[in-house]
Amino acid sequence: MRGGVKRGGVLQRLISIPMPLFPRPLLYLALVLGGGSSALAQLEKGPNFLFVVADDLNTHIGPYVDASLKVYTPNLNRLAREGVSFSRAYTQYPVCGPARAAFMSGLYPETNGVTGNGFEMGNHRIATPALADHPTLAGFLRERGYFTARVSKIFHLGVPGGIERGEAGSDDPDSWDYAVNLMAPETLTPGNWEKLSQGNHYGSVFARLELPDGAELTQADVLAANQAIAILENRATPRPVNSTNRSKFKPDAPFFLAVGFVRPHVPLIAASRHFAHYPEDKVKLPHVPENDFADIPEPALALRNETRFGMDGSQQRRAISAYHASISFMDEQLGRLLDALDRLELRESTVVVFISDHGYNLGEHSTWQKQNLWEESVRVPLIVSVPGTSQAGKVAKTIVELNDLYPTFAELGGLGEMAPAILQGESLVPLLEDPHRPTGDQIAFTISASGGASIRTERWRYNRWGEDADGLNEELYDHANDPREYVNLARLPEHGSNLAEIRVRFERVRRVARGN
């Protein structure tokens, strides 16, 4: 949400050459590419899209961390070198179901009605009855000639739980020409499981499993990469199809392939070669100031270690080690997809977008996992690689949201003017052209459980737990001086004017996010 400043339409203003065969954004990309005839022929129909979604991944990956945190992600680093990384991208909800419903619908959770994981299967696309006909991102592209395919978790799916039963979870079947549900062992994987925290549900506690190298081939992310590569091979060399199935498989159409990786969601599973990068004695726990909880509203502390997980220092370090090993495992599978694009000569006609559904706390404020509104839980990795771009390797520091993905895909596909008017995000294409361009006011809006809601501005983060401000249910952090969000300024009289100003901005943004 950019405070009412629209970024869309820049490509249209850049291009004045009338060529009806090319959607104008694609003409620009073709000029940037300067590629061979095959790339240009593909762009006449629209670029391919490979959309990769990781699960519970924070920004502890190579393109986002300094050298002191040695996280082994060579393929994410490679993708960042080929594209634009957004260093301040934010989820709309730090829980899987509503986060995914938001970026797939292009609507904030309180507008689309999906505000938790507790919806029936098939009802995570949209839950607001008046918007029942609103197409998902994939459905929008499908209606306009794209072949759309899903592999594994894109909408909400129980991990663990549903994935062990091969379920579709809350998927929207109208979004896809082809969909693959994986049956993966997850908690049924044979091996020496180590439970690190208290609790019984392996989807919300910390448990780790180190597999011998070569024993990971039945894991969900390996299976997802295998199936995605098979789809890429199918689309790279289309074969004759009979008249009864030609329309379904659209052999001459560009593709939108969405691939869901489940790591590093718990349980934390990876092969020995991945764990080798992160020995426990090298793991450092985050600094937690003394009396850090004294100025924090109680709902923000729901996932404190002391009350929820009960891990000692060694268990915390082993949880972080396993989380990072799971990231490296996922990164390895991403590399297989990128290698397949190169091998099949699809890279020059395929836009690759990588995100996570939300961030993740690893002991900051002595808090773990998600659902709070601090930076670590709501900030996400976002990398967009447009083939042939002159901006490869650059970083956009503008505040953006995952809601911006729907209009971005639409504009890159030459379909921006056809996108639903109700979309609540804005196209990132201008920032892909110039990652350092001024964008005016920038605000990201996120909600969470327990009535939590937050805005992130250029300088401030403001959190409120409850409908109305009462002075005790608020958090205000000055990122210019306190990027770790240690000092809650909301209770300090000397910051009363700052608090009053940001309350006004919060109320204005929240009204928009609720569809008012």
Q: Could you give all domains of the chain from N- to C-terminal order, each with its CATH number?
A: 10-237+251-435 (3.40.720.10)
**Which pLDDT band, with edges at 50, 70 and 90, does 244 fall under?**
low
**pLDDT at residue number 283:** 96
Angstrom distance (rounded) from CA 394 to CA 379: 19
What pLDDT sits at residue 239?
61
What pLDDT is attached to residue 81?
Answer: 97
Is 14 a residue whose pLDDT tops 50? Answer: no
Tokens coding 337: 């997809």
Torsion angles phi and psi, residue 411, rounded to 5: -70, -40
Per the document, the length of the chain is 516
Give the count of beta carbons closer than 10 Å to the beta carbon of residue 120: 8
Q: Report whether pLDDT(40) > 60.
A: no
At residue 30 the predicted structure's pLDDT band, cuts being 50, 70 and 90, is very low
pLDDT for the residue numbered 112: 94
Secondary structure of residue 445 in the 3-state scheme: strand
User: How much is the mean pLDDT over the chain?
Assistant: 89
Give pLDDT tens digits for 110-149: 999 999 886 544 455 788 989 999 999 999 999 999 999 9
Q: Are 5 and 430 in contact (CB under 8 A)?
A: no
**H-assigned helices in 344-461:** 375-378, 405-412, 429-433
Q: What is the pLDDT of residues 152-182, one digit of tens each?
A: 999 999 999 999 999 999 999 999 999 999 9
**How wide is the angle at C-alpha 254 spanned by C-alphas 250 and 257, nearest 5°?**
95
Which H, E and C letters describe 197-226, residue by residue? Answer: CCCCCCCCCCEEEEECCCCCCCCHHHHHHH
The helices-and-strands tally (H runs, E runs) of the chain is 15, 20
Q: CA distances (Å), 271 to each of 160, 213, 260, in order?
A: 18, 5, 19
pLDDT digits (tens, 9 = 90+) for 187-227: 999 999 999 999 988 889 999 999 999 999 999 999 999 99
What percent of the chain lies above the pLDDT cut of 70? Answer: 87
Return left, alpha or beta for 464; rule: phi > 0 is left, psi -120 to 50 is alpha, else beta.
beta
**pLDDT above 70: residue 496:** yes
SS3 per-residue string spanning 31-81: HHHCCCHHHHHHHHHCCEEEEEEECCCCCCCHHHCCCCCCCCCHHHHHHHH
Biggest CA pair distance of the chain: 74
| Band of residue 254 on the pLDDT scale cut at 50, 70, 90 | very high
